Amino acid sequence: MLLGTAALAALSVSAAACGKPPPPPELDDLVAQLDLAHSDSQLASDAVATASHQLRPALSAVASERSDHAQALSDEIARLTRQTTTSAPPTTSMPQAHAPTINDVVAALRNSADSAAQLAAQMSGYRAGLLGSIAASCTVAYTVGLAAPPDGAP
């Protein structure tokens, strides 16, 4: 009986070793960043319709940059998991009750910058650099690109 239990335990260990390895712990964090990038890109695109003429190019640039961030994150996730990952935005997004404003975009970018910066501090190598770059880009977007023009400026 003891021999049978030992054999069963050995079989369980070897079967587990042959199975699919668990996903890396940073995968969930990178997927969360990918979701933020998609969300921010869509939010900025949606805000273009109601934004002032002066802010439309900046919002379009933000949407494009966040889309680029999503692609870079998708590429890293694919490399990390050795699978093909698409950068298509999630199809389960909730419709918004109102058209987003510039303040909504700024708040989302501020949240994304903070989140990416905190995660960058926990990572190393390429992932830390990627997340640091994303944090810097989001910060510049909301502090410079989407800053309200001074009074009286055209």
Domain-embedded: residue 10: no
Q: Which H or E element spans position 110? A: helix 102-122
Domain-embedded: residue 94: no
* Owning domain of residue 121: 23-85+99-145
Q: What angle do CA 58, 63, 68 make, to 5 degrees?
A: 120
Integer Cα distance of 69 and 122 in angstroms: 19
Domain-embedded: residue 7: no
Domain-embedded: residue 150: no
Q: How many domains does the chain have?
A: 1
Per-residue pLDDT of the chain (154 residues; tens, 9 = 90+): 444 444 444 444 444 455 677 777 789 999 999 999 999 999 999 999 989 999 999 999 999 999 999 999 999 999 999 854 444 444 445 555 688 999 999 999 999 999 999 999 999 999 999 999 999 999 999 999 898 665 545 5
Domain-embedded: residue 14: no
Integer Cα distance of 51 and 59 in angstroms: 8
For residue 48, the domain's CATH number is 1.20.1260
Q: Which H or E element spans position 130? A: helix 125-140
